[in-house]
Structure formats: C-alpha cells, structure tokens
C-alpha cells in the first residue's frame, strides 16, 4: 500500500474545477448547490476554492428539459467602460456597486 504522502496531486484530480476531469463523476451535492437548484438562493459567493465553479459547471450540465441554463463569461466584458463608471471620492470597495447591480 502506498503512503498518502507519496501520492502526487494528480492522484486526486486537478486543483480547480475547470481542469478537473473527475468533477462530473465525483461531484457530491452540497447544501449550496441544492439551494441554487431549488431557487431558494440566486447567488453563490465564496472564497477561491470554495466550489463556486464546480457548482456552476454542474448546473449548466444538467439535462432537465424543463430547465434552461446558460453560462456567461466576462472575458469580453467592456472593462474600460466599467472603469469609467467608478464613483470618485468613495471607498475603493464601493466604487463599482451601481455597475455590478446593473449587471446583475
């Protein structure tokens, strides 16, 4: 039997959901996932590595004919225009609140 310390990271899959080939076969439902699926919550917030992307990938992969899902990518978002909307003379963490509320 191998020592747990002798196993490399690939033995457990990748470090994040986009590269994890085992995500769909090993995904376990979580209360956050169930809350989003059941519409009791509409937004998933958490630290890096908390599982937000894994939940997102599972939701957009569901095959329920009664549920339409689509994923958005902000890579082509007009960030230069977004930066122009920043409110001056407010704390850094509040500069874009109105922009994000509009987007949501």
12-28 pLDDT, tens digit per residue, is: 555 666 677 777 778 88
| 30, 24 Cβ separation under 8 angstroms | no
pLDDT of res. 23: 76
Name residue, tokens 């990748």. 14
Residue 39 or residue 104, greater confidence: 39
pLDDT of res. 4: 67
Band of residue 8 on the pLDDT scale cut at 50, 70, 90: low
Tell me the pLDDT tens digit for each residue of 48-92. Answer: 888 888 888 888 888 788 878 888 777 777 788 777 777 777 787
CA pair distance 9, 11, nearest whole angstrom = 5
């Amino acid at each position: 039997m191998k020592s747990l310390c002798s196993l490399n990271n690939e033995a457990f899959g990748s470090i994040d959901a986009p590269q994890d080939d085992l995500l769909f076969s090993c995904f376990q439902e979580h209360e956050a996932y169930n809350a989003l699926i059941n519409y009791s919550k509409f937004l998933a917030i958490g630290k890096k590595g908390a599982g937000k992307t894994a939940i997102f990938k599972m939701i957009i992969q569901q095959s329920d004919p009664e549920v339409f899902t689509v994923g958005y990518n902000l890579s082509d978002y007009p960030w230069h225009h977004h930066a122009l909307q920043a409110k001056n003379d407010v704390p850094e963490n509040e500069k874009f609140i109105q922009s994000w509320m509009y987007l949501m």
